[in-house]
Every structure is written in C-alpha cells, then in structure tokens.
Amino acid sequence: MSEAAASPRKRLFIRSWGCQMNVYDSGRMADVLAPLGYGPAEGPDAADMVILNTCHIREKASEKLFSELGRLRALKREKEAAGGRMVLAVAGCVAQAEGAEITARAPWVDIVLGPQTYHRLPEMVARASRAAGAVIDTDFPAEAKFDRLPEASAAPQGVTAFLTVQEGCDKFCSFCVVPYTRGAEYSRPAAPVLAEARRLVAQGAREITLLGQNVNAYHGDAPGGGRTWGLGRLLRALAEIPGLERLRYTTSHPRDVDDELVAAHRDLPQLMPFLHLPVQSGSDRVLAAMNRGHTAADFLSVAERLRAARPDLALSSDFIVGHPGERAADFDATLALVREVGFALAYSFKYSPRPGTPAASAPNQVPEAEKDARLQALQALLRDQQEAFNRSLVGRTIPVLVTGTGRHHGQVAGRSPWLNPVHLSASDALIGEVVPVAVLAAHTNSLSGALAAGTATEPPSQRREEPAPA
C-alpha cells in the first residue's frame, strides 16, 4: 500500500447535486485523486481541495452554484491567510455549459471541468498549482475517460452501489441540456462493466443500480468481441454474479424498451420490479413539441408489455407541466394518462427554460401562475397514487434488503423491491441481508414493519449452530 493511500496528506471534500450519475462521478473523482494523497474531508472547512459537482437539470442550478462559491471564497481566503491553500473546482453539467461564466463571475475558482474529463483531474491540479488563472477542460472524450480511469476504490462502498454503463444522449428533447453537457451516447464495453460489478460485490454491495442518461439505449461491445450487447443481455450476465442479490437501472426512455429488456424483467428474479420510465406529458401534441419521439399510446403499450411480463412491476415517471404551448386540454391529457397507468412514485416539475435549448425561445410560453396551478393539481393526483400504492403493501410480507441503521436506537433501514424505504426494529447484524418483513404501516414516502415471525436475527454467516445431540 502506498504512503498516500495509508495516510492521506491532503483532504478532499466533494459536494454533489442532482442525479445518481453525479454521485457515481464524485466517487470516481475521489479515486482519481487518491494517488495524489487526497483522503476524504467531512466538510469544506477541513479540506485542501473542494469540488462542487453540479447538475443543470433543476431550476436555478447556476444561482445555487454561485451562492455556494461565495461561501467558499471566504474559506479559501482564511486558508490562504493561514499559509495554506484550497484548490476549488467546479465539475459537472453547469461547468460544461457555463465554464466561461463561472470564471468571469468567480475568478477564485481554480478548475472548471466537464463530466467527460474528470480522469484528467491530476493533470489539472498540477496545472492549477502553476497557473495564474483558472484551468478549464470541457472536452468530450468519453471513451478516453473510461479507458483511463483507475479501478474503483477498494474501500467499502456499502450495501447498495451505482455503476455507470452509458453516458450522453442523442434524443435532443426540446427542454433538455443533457446532449449539450454530457455529449453523444456512449456505452461502456460489457467486460469492464462486469469486472467493476464483481469488485463492488466483493466490497459488500448486494444491490447495483446501472446508470445512464438513456441507460436502456445501452449497446456495449460484448466480451471477447462479437455482436453488441443490449441492456437486457447485460443484465442477464450481471445476474450470474454470485452474491449480487438485486439489480436496478435508471434512467430509461420509452423508445428504447425492446423485447430483450422486457424478457429480462420476466426472467430475472434479481431485476427488481420497479422501473423509472419518464413520459413527461400525456398529450401527443406536447410530446411532439418536446421532440420525445413517442406518443401517449406508445407509452401505454410499453407499460402494458412490461406489466404482462412482470405482473408486480411498479412504475415511476417524470412529468413537466407548462411546456411552451401546453394548453388546458393538453394538461387534461396528462392527468388522464396518470389515472390510466397508475404510478407508485413520480417526479413532477414546472417547465423552466434552459439557455440554448429549443424550448427556451419557443413562442407561447405558459404563464407562471398557470404552471403553478397545473403542477399542484398533478402533484395531488400523483401523491394520492403513491400513498395508495404504499397502503397496498400493508399486511403483506415482503423481502427487504437491509442497508443500514435507522434514525432511532435499535432500528434498521432497508429497501423494498419497489424502492420504498422500510424501517423496522432489528439488529444491525442484518445489514446486507434480504429478510422477510411484515409491513405494518404505510407513510407518504416510506413503510414501517417488523421481521416476519420465525426470522433469524443474525445473518447465516454469524449464527452459531447448536451441536447435535450425542
């Protein structure tokens, strides 16, 4: 073990906003910087380097970034006054989209890097130590990034883990910045994906969530060459890894749900019966304006095929209300689709313009007051459906993956197959085990329960067997 790995000389703090892929990317940035002697810091005040890993999807993303940069400026000055130095970096999608603006408004930022360049962080840190101004790197070398990243850290990753298999987007929805900040679709070859999954399982992961901007558009090279694998084939190979209890994937696009993926939902018990499948609107007119490439009927057909293959499948989705040109009748069509499908969970937002996207300059922008009213109506319906789904689990015994301790003494927390957080009183010796839980109560965002009668309170590897009678 190197001296840097054994006793970090510098401290690194990374703050992530947005999607699960940013969480994964932050972990890989820490892996890249570990050979330089950087170990984790609990907060920015104790850090020699701070990275803000940003997301451009949510409203007011830039304002949140600059507010945080203002607070970090004071910490950076304090560090310098004491004879030290804080390297300040901005990463992620806001960095990709607004690199020049960041350095103009916050000249105390040392490094600006896009999502495809964090494998070059060590070089950027070295350049920043010599340069008078900021180092900016926002290229799109997707293949080079994955080829040059080190293996993931050998440190324990937890019971659940993320694994990026696909990046970028070729869909160009009118409201979305992802094609401009993450670049074109790129799928990692299957062999390194499988190798990383095996390492995660060896480190204690029992559930892996595959990540991608359009994860079900995955088309990676098969191990040893030959034809390309789709996501369904990749899931089958992952399901063969001993010790990997559960598989999930996000985020999907309705256009990329093929027969092989539907069959994987039918055949693989490791593939959890929960799927996040954004529809965005129930109006064909709005879907066309969004450039989604599917109709409401297409989405309903996909949902029907998936539920026929896996009858206990629960769906989650994304909705945008008030897209430019959306009329009252279009919004009514969205409500109708929600009622017809029924969602266990959903995320809904008011449309907000993203600079450089087609919708930002489109005519017939919907007034804010109308967007507010529509969002409240949609969220009320979605909340009713979520609560109804949670109530439907009360009285059932369901398998729960115990992921950690709860907020109260003697309590543990876990995940249902449908991604519900579950709280119960049990020994923390069960962390990492899938145990049967009787659901006692449903809440808006979680379930509470108790170990089913007859369930052992210790995992099999820790239970002591009584000697056989003589």
* Alpha-carbon distance values, 357 to 57, 59, 360, 365 (Å): 12, 14, 6, 14
* Alpha-carbon distance values, 398 to 245, 350, 418, 436 (Å): 15, 35, 10, 5
The answer to the question of whether 447 is labelled as a binding residue is no
First to last CA, the chain: 49
- The answer to whether residues 87 and 48 touch, using CB atoms and an 8 Å cutoff, is yes
* Alpha-carbon distance values, 140 to 109, 146, 167, 193, 365 (Å): 21, 12, 11, 20, 32
Cβ count within 10 A of residue 144: 14
Order of strands, sheet of 38-40, starting from the edge strand that comes earlier in the sequence? 38-40, 10-16, 49-54, 87-92, 111-113, 135-137
Q: How many CA atoms lie within 13 A of 364 on its CB side?
A: 9
The tokens of 255 are what?
């256009």
- The answer to whether residues 239 and 207 touch, using CB atoms and an 8 Å cutoff, is no
Peptide bond into 251 cis (omega under 30): yes
The answer to the question of whether 176 is labelled as a binding residue is yes
Q: What share of the chain is helix, strand, coil (3-state, %, to 5)?
A: 40, 20, 40
The answer to the question of whether 206 is labelled as a binding residue is no
The answer to the question of whether 173 is labelled as a binding residue is yes
The answer to the question of whether 337 is labelled as a binding residue is no
The answer to the question of whether 200 is labelled as a binding residue is no
- The answer to whether residues 282 and 339 touch, using CB atoms and an 8 Å cutoff, is no
The binding site consists of 19, 55, 93, 169, 173, 176
The binding site for [4Fe-4S] cluster consists of 19, 55, 93, 169, 173, 176
